[in-house]
Structure 1
Amino acid sequence: MSIFKFTFIFPSLIFAQLLLFTHSEAAIFDIQNNCPYTVWAASVPVGGGRQLNAGQTWTIDVPAGTSQAHKWAQTGCNFDGSGRDRCQTGDYNGLLQCQSYGQPPNSLAEYALNQYNNLVFFDISLVDGFNMPMEFSPTSNGCTRGIRCRTDINGQCPNELRTPSGCNNPCVVFKTDQYCCNSGSCSRTDFSR
């Protein structure tokens, strides 16, 4: 059994904690809001979304073989009783119950269970921009080295990429090959420097 810890972090405040228990059949994610305010966690392809008030936990059972899975935070939301609203970052068509990936900008925790040689793969991606620092770390089977993106990039975001509560990827803003690198032959830009 492997255990992974996933954490959203504000500059010095833990946002949510996620533990992943894996074995050959499934995984269990426990997401806990450790902030003194409400957050909206999102999870696809399993889970959807959930409002988490301070101290609340959300448990998600994920089937073996799940791939292309994402977890992220929706920020700046105020969902009504039917789970409808728009979020400033990570929005999914104005719905709390996400059925596919959220709109940029959003920091992503990505994972795939029981893949090649029955391994679990995980990463943190900022390809869709950034909305909050996070950590994704294994904590069992002697493996404790994980991935951390602890810097609050929002404070360093160039004005051209800035949004309320987030920082867009230049591709999302400019939609040109120079920034999206669709041709595969891209050079550095002022934003990547």
Structure 2
Amino acid sequence: MALQTLLALSVVALLYTGGESATFTVVNNCPDTIWPAAYADERLPSPTGFELLSKASRNIEFPDPVISGRIWARTFCTDRCVTGDCGQGKGPCNGATGVPPATLVEFTLPGGGGQDTHDISNVDGFNLPVSMEPVGTTSCRTISCPGQINEECPADLAVKGPNDITAGCRSDCEAYKKPEDCCTGEFDNSDMCKSSRSAKYFKGKCPDAYSYAYNDPESTFNCPSGTNYVVTFCP
């Protein structure tokens, strides 16, 4: 094969595979086993789901760029999971996202020296407290949702797990699908979209986190591109 052809194929390979990746170290500080899961829109992270014992940790690699990525925890998993289920039970999610309620760590990773954008979202509900800590930089801070939202979850929003414990707390939007709660239809703008009952409750417990769709100014954060992160459930 000609040298020019080999060089051309090498360039194509680099463009396809991307030159950078971000490492997210997932830590389970909860007393019970969880099943973390991961999704990205461009190329799937590795791995996309796994079992994580209490006090254990495991890395997830996200190749840049990521326009829309997320990490969440599945709980009480057998053939299905009570919260965060992606249709695979305990197994890898393989490109599927989780069924609410689940606390989401969301991010974009542009690569190339830009700014990562990230948030913690309770827009569709909550299942576990979580924090997201940047590694190796002082130019951005740890964000967290430490509140025990499940403990005082309104009865009509509670998702029950084994022994009737509250495993998750749905949002009003997820529970009732009303446009005024979901910021859809005529409410799909910053003037009309307001905090629902659940959004106010979630925000009181987790001031850093998104609680409804137009919560951007106080709930979106940035770090330098190339930053690695530690995501801790039950920080």
Q: TM-score, normalised by structure 2?
A: 0.63
- Which letter does structure 1 place at the counterpart of 2:173? C
Q: 1:86 to 1:118 in 2, by over 3 A?
A: same
Give the CA RMSD over aligned residues.
2.1
Equivalent residue number for residue 169 of structure 1 = 171
> CA–CA distance in 1 between the matches of 2:149 and 2:83?
14
Q: Does 1:155 align with 2:151?
A: yes
Aligned-pair identity (%): 34
Structure with the bigger RCO (C-alpha within 8 Å, sep 6+) is: 2
Equivalent residue number for residue 82 of structure 1 = none
Could you tell me how far 1:114 is from its partner in structure 2? 2.3
Q: Deviations over 1:116-144 (max 9, x none)?
A: 95211111011120001111122322235
| Unpaired segments ≥5 residues, structure 2 | 1-18, 161-166, 201-235
Instruction: Tell me if structure 2 keeps the 8 A contact 1:50–1:58.
Output: no
Q: 1:32 aligns with which of 22, 27, 30?
A: 27
Query: Which structure's CA Rg is the greater one?
Result: 2
* Counterparts of residues 29-178 of structure 1 (less than 5 Å): 29-45=24-40, 46=45, 47-78=47-78, 85-95=79-89, 96-98=91-93, 99-114=95-110, 118-143=114-139, 145-164=141-160, 165-178=167-180
Could you tell me how far 1:88 is from its partner in structure 2? 0.8
> CA–CA distance in 1 between the matches of 2:138 and 2:194?
40
> CA–CA distance in 1 between the matches of 2:30 and 2:178?
38
Q: TM-score, normalised by structure 1?
A: 0.76
Could you tell me how far 1:176 is from its partner in structure 2? 1.6
User: Match of 1:104, SS?
Assistant: coil
Could you tell me how far 1:26 is from its partner in structure 2? 1.2
Instruction: Tell me if structure 2 keeps the 8 A contact 1:137–1:147.
Output: yes
Greater share of helix residues, 1 or 2? 2
